[in-house]
Chains A and B, each alone.
Chain A
Amino acid sequence: MEPLLEVQNLHVWYRVYGGYSKVLNGVNFLVNKGERVGLVGEAGCGKTTTMKTILRILPDQVSKIAQGKILFNGQDILQMNGNALQRIRSQGIAMIFQDPTAALNPVFTVGEQLSDVIRFSLRSIAQRKVEKKSIKQVAMQALKDVSMPDQERILGTYPIQLSGGMRQRVCISMAITTKRELLIADEPGTSLDVTIQDQILRLLHELVKQQNTSIILITHSLGVAREMTDRIYVMYAGTMVETAKADELFANPLHPYTLGLLASVPKLTGGGIAKGIPGRLPDYRNPPPGCRFSPRCPRAMPVCEFSPPPFFDVGYEHKVACYLFQESRND
């Protein structure tokens, strides 16, 4: 398998009252070509910051990329100039946001917004102007691909005239109009009802399979990640704590945080929920120097408090950032 996106030791800080908020603290992860990767974590753990850094859409005045590399097809996104970056955004990576209502401009029709996207990306590929007629064709096809009925009419509607599910379909159609190598979906179904979320996730799943695109699915829901992705990264307080194939992770979760999270999820089988994880996220302005989970960890050891754990390979492509698994290998 060929690596498509590789994030190495990424540190991102925000400028806040009283210094810097050290949000990302050495994030490492890898997406292979054609792979579906899940990024799971709770609110405030840095999932969205990571993705915004990859697309270089973090606001400059308040943020600072302190350290790290983001290799996309071997090139470092953080070192790119405006033109190269524009090419990445128009051809390489597309993003689908959590709230389709905020992602669409309310004063332009779906058709206008869709054809803008198509025009830019086609022009960037073909390096010339594109005719109006072919843009419309591509737009119609894009809407058809996301199973929207009556495409001609939809092109003339304003986002407010569509339901939440339909808006998210429009957003997805914008992301897939021209074939991208990587799709980043930031909680694509969270603001929608469970049946609609199911429809949207199934749609994404099919599109990704058809086009052989890689996808990073950011979600707070372990269930969504389990059903939709091949490999999962669990993130806590700006660090990756565990990664494994989806089946392996749920059959054999190792990191104390993953265990706590999994126990907190209410199950359909009933029987109550665990007590949750005690404590709260660390203060990013002054985070614990060692493992960032150690203050809340039921199995913390002295070493955890001063030295951040690297990834330990436990076999079966399963890695854990926890000193408990320093020597154990389960193969």
Chain B
Amino acid sequence: MTASSQTQAPILPHHFHKPSVIVRFRENLRKSWFKYSRNKLSVIGLVVVLLVVLTAIFAPLVSPYPQHASAFVDFENAGQPPSLRNLLGTDVFGRDILSRIFFAFRGALLMSIVVLAIAVPIGVLLGLIAGYYKNTWIDTLIMRTTDVFLAIPPIILALAIASVLTPNLMNSMIAVTVMWWPWYTRLVYGMASSCRNEYFVIAAELTGASKAHILFREILPNCLSPVFTKMALDVGWVILISASLSFVGLGEQPPTPALGQMVSDGARYMPDLWWYAVFPGLAIVIVILGFNLMGDGLRDMLEQRMG
């Protein structure tokens, strides 16, 4: 067998079957779904998340009263309890709460996407560098700075920043981003510093691969699976923090609906107009639960592929 294969002319690449990208992708997708769907709760989480995302995107179409999402006043229907006309009741200005929740999803999701899109790359990059240069001054500098941010209670940090800047959605995003990146640095730091001693990294170093290759091609991909899982979980948490900020009046400004601000407004009319605060609160709970369950499923799906 050895002798014959050595004398043969090398088979040129176009002579063998190159597996089609679509076929491989479909196979991977099917396998991933098998792992993801083993836990029924993660499937429920995925359904909830999809519903939330879809209602946010198509809010003007699915809301019964899209015009209620802005400065709209209808005192005749103010403070109505849940009925067929207003499924979740109306607020003191007579606006439909269900429609306002649907529109509030938009701000909440936008906020999480923007916050994570900024915080994750920064956090991951810093963690990767600190992990690779473990036990050097670079590690000390990055990780001690991270510790300083982690030492301040996050909500207080966000409150401080948001109150220094003028209160609006943009500035509350900045505030939340500032408190969010250190968690990713921490996570990736641990992964990268253990990955750094793996033999495949050493093997690349020994053949003379560049630092950039080692950091971004060898180590980074092996750190990403917990990052994705954490991102899924964090979408829920960012929504919660942004709700907290808007609860104290530092987020989205009226009349644009925000979940936290609706809860805070409604709290003043408890218990008479109970639906005013309870339904937006329930919406927060459901969204966060959905993203958490989906995060668990993602973890199940990605973890085993690493092994």
Contact = CB atoms under 8 A, between A and B. Distances in A.
Contacts of B31: 17
Contacts of A275: 1
Interface residues of B, number: 4
B72 interface: no
Interface of A: 17, 275, 278
A17 B34 CA distance: 7
A275 B35 CA distance: 39
Interface string B12-44: 000000000000000000010011000000000
- Decide if the interface of chain A is mainly helix, strand, loop or mixed: loop
Interface of B: 1, 31, 34-35
A83 B1 CA distance: 57
Contacts of B35: 17
Contacts of A17: 31, 34-35
A275 B34 CA distance: 40
A17 B38 CA distance: 11
Contacts of A278: 1
A82 to B, nearest CB: 27
B300 to A, nearest CB: 13
A278 B31 CA distance: 30
A275 B1 CA distance: 10
The 3 tightest CB contacts between A and B, nearest first, are A17-B34, A17-B31, A17-B35
A47 to B, nearest CB: 22
A210 B35 CA distance: 50
Contacts of B34: 17
Contacts of B1: 275, 278
A90 B35 CA distance: 37
A278 B1 CA distance: 10
5 contacts: A17-B31, A17-B34, A17-B35, A275-B1, A278-B1
A17 B1 CA distance: 35
A21 to B, nearest CB: 14
A17 to B, nearest CB: 5
A50 B261 CA distance: 62
A277 to B, nearest CB: 13
A278 B2 CA distance: 12
A285 to B, nearest CB: 13
